Amino acid sequence: MGEIHLDRANVGRWTTLGGPSAGKVAALAIGRGEGHTVFAGTRVGLYRTADVGGAGARWARLAEASLEIMSLAISPGYARDRTLLAGTARGLFVSRDGGDRWQLAQLPISGPMILSLCFSPNYELDGIALAGTLEDGILYSDSRGERWSYRGFGLLDATVYSLAISPDFAHDEMAFAGTETALYYSYNGALAWKQLPFPEEAAPILSLALSANFPQDRVLYVGTERAGLYRTADLCRSWQRLGLPAECVNALAISPGRGSLFAATESGLYRSDDEGCSWVCLLEAPNVLSLAVHEGLIVVGLADGGAWLSRDGAHWQHFFTLPARPLLGMALSPHFEEEPLAFLYGPQEGIWRTRDGGLSWESLEEGLPSLDIRSLALSPGFAQDRALVAASPAGILLSRDAGDSWSLWADEPASLVCASPSGRLYAAVCAAGAVRVAGALGGPWERLPGPWEGGREVLALALSDDAHYKVALLDPGRESLSVWEGRPGGFRQLVSHPASVAPLAALWVLDRPGWGARWYASLDGQVWEFREAGGRSSGHPLPLGDQGESKVLGLAGGQGREGPALFACTGEAIYKLTGRSWTAVHHFGPERAVALALSPSYSRDASAFALLLGGAFCRGILL
């Protein structure tokens, strides 16, 4: 073994090397207090900045906010009440301190997907807000967002993409809702809804905006998914299709001062200063999804490109440049020190590759049969065969040129893939929990019988060159986790552990032919050490200590100077196993890690890599 070369000055310090390009910004909101505060909602959570001047805005991910942000609304009196609503894929959340702390709103149904949100312009007095859902119609609150009730009487379509409330709501009690099939309005404070005459072929309705002078001019703008933008000035008795040079209108906004109308579309951001008669393209960009306008400040969010900001509509800066992508795993080249090649992957994000150690990244989506990548494994002989294997709902995918091109190895949906230490065997977890095994790269897959049959879900799997398997399973009732080992025709259960609501499991064995004497499994927050003798393993727990509700999301091991080194990552921190106890060696602060890997040259440089929530790729020293 060579001499270990350590950068001791950087022990405990982690450096962000880079990450993929900025991803999807689904929702935006601007709050006015001491200056502007901008919020950006993404699939990996909510970000906030008060730095809207100059280049390089400093964004902070709000650790207590939910993931999968789909809609945002900011109180009309934000400067005083600091109230925000966040609609997510699993419910509605309320913050009353500018986004630092959040509480789950009391809803009449469990976990609805919230597509749209709207405050009453008189919110400071009436406490009213509305929420539109994917499948459950409209929800109503008059308790400042704390408690919500169902307000769907008269609503024949339960998919509500957009909402708007009259500026004179305190007197006219008018509100509008755009759905999958029709346009609705309420004349009694959202107590009941009535369908309005609107070109049926133009729906779905994605966006709504009311003129600032709506009580006098009755002007309503309706943005559709495929038929452009419509305007009415007589409470929907007649309609005019406007000459907006776009078909999909994702968001609308009206500036209170000038009365300018802004439209976020599939081809860019447009502005009209004459009620939609003529248009100017302010920003040419594909798929502008979200939009926020306040006192001359314009911010737009893209489907794949972060967010852009302008103060005059003519000069734009790339404002939100963080990846904000739901990447969940990584894989390093086995000779990363000589060939700094690494891969990141995740659901709906495909696979990203770096050739320079993480400084720059390229998407491998072209030619990839599916962007929904659940698992990725490099061939143990990657240096020679350049092979990668990926699991996706489209099947088991194979590349023989380091990701440049892909083929379908098997068309059965798969959720996990792995290889034996020398690549003699490959295993995949497929549909309905079936496990398949292939004896050669690109060879036929065969069914492997085992304890997963009967409804148990495979959460982690490892195999040796001589077909010895180790597996972590979740029982059919989702009440317990268990670890098994064995060969085809003969498996035995080693341990069982109560499962959490969202269970996690991981395995780590010494990466060499045969298993060695020890191997490890984590079941939620509990780690087990197993010692193998005579072809059988026995184990004992290695508690992480008083770590509250923290779960181990991954185990990473390598050959250190004094033997195998094992680390457990909980997302918040990294712990090192010393004897039978754990020591915290790094805390990620407000960030959260989703994957950890030791450098293939760990024995020489003691370096490790972490993938942070959102896609940042980091390097540090672990001793």
Does 514 have pLDDT greater than 70?
no
pLDDT value, residue 391: 97
- pTM for this predicted structure: 0.90
In a domain, 151, yes or no: yes
pLDDT value, residue 512: 53
pLDDT value, residue 139: 98
pLDDT value, residue 8: 46
Does 338 have pLDDT greater than 80?
yes
What's the whole-number mean pLDDT along residues 99-108?
A: 96
Does 281 have pLDDT greater than 80?
yes
pLDDT value, residue 190: 95
Quick one: tokens of 471? 């597996």
Higher pLDDT, 294 or 51: 294
Residue 125 phi, psi (nearest 5): -105, -40
What's the whole-number mean pLDDT along residues 336-345?
A: 95
pLDDT value, residue 332: 97
pLDDT value, residue 597: 96
CA dist., res. 318 & res. 55, Å (int) = 8
Mean pLDDT is lowest, of 228-242, 481-495, 537-551, for 537-551
In a domain, 364, yes or no: no
Question: Cβ distance 328 to 346 under 8 Å?
Answer: yes
Kindly report, residue by residue over 14-47, the tens digit of the pLDDT: 999 999 999 999 999 999 876 789 999 999 999 9
- Which residue range(s) make up the domain with 64? 22-320
What's the whole-number mean pLDDT along residues 281-293?
A: 97
In a domain, 228, yes or no: yes
In a domain, 571, yes or no: no
What's the whole-number mean pLDDT along residues 306-329?
A: 92
CA dist., res. 141 & res. 98, Å (int) = 20
Does 258 have pLDDT greater than 90?
no
pLDDT value, residue 360: 97
Higher pLDDT, 243 or 296: 243
Look over the chain and give the mean of its residue pLDDT values, rounded to a whole number. Answer: 92
Query: Which of 84, 69, 159 lies closest to 119, judged by CA?
Result: 84
CATH number for the domain spanning 78: value is: 2.130.10.10
What's the whole-number mean pLDDT along residues 240-248?
A: 97
Question: Cβ distance 402 to 411 under 8 Å?
Answer: no
Q: At 1, is the pLDDT very low, low, confident or very high (cuts 50, 70, 90)?
A: very low
Question: Cβ distance 308 to 285 under 8 Å?
Answer: yes
In a domain, 417, yes or no: no
Does 438 have pLDDT greater than 90?
yes
Kindly report, residue by residue over 398-414, the tens digit of the pLDDT: 999 999 999 999 999 99
What's the whole-number mean pLDDT along residues 91-102?
A: 96
pLDDT value, residue 548: 53
Name 545's Cβ contacts closer than 8 Å, sequence gap at least 6.
581, 582
Q: At 590, is the pLDDT very low, low, confident or very high (cuts 50, 70, 90)?
A: confident
Question: Cβ distance 551 to 570 under 8 Å?
Answer: yes
Mean pLDDT is lowest, of 1-15, 456-470, 598-612, for 1-15
Q: Characterize 446-479 residue by residue with b for buried, 16 or more Cβ atoms within 10 angstroms of its Cβ, and e for exposed.
A: eebebbbeeebbbbbbbbbbebbbbbbbbbeeee
pLDDT value, residue 493: 95
In a domain, 517, yes or no: no
Does 314 have pLDDT greater than 50?
yes
Question: Cβ distance 566 to 508 under 8 Å?
Answer: yes
In a domain, 272, yes or no: yes
In a domain, 141, yes or no: yes
pLDDT value, residue 545: 67
- Total domain count, the chain: 1
Q: At 518, is the pLDDT very low, low, confident or very high (cuts 50, 70, 90)?
A: confident
Does 54 have pLDDT greater than 80?
no
Q: Residue 338: count other Cβ atoms within 10 Å of its Cβ.
A: 11
Query: Which of 87, 77, 84, 16 lies closest to 48, judged by CA?
Result: 84
Mean pLDDT is lowest, of 52-66, 190-204, 271-285, 562-576, for 52-66
Cα Rg of the chain (Å, integer): 27
Q: Characterize 365-402 residue by residue with b for buried, 16 or more Cβ atoms within 10 angstroms of its Cβ, and e for exposed.
A: eeebebbbbbbbbbbbebeebbbbbbbbbbbbbbbbeb
**Percentage of the chain with pLDDT > 70?**
95
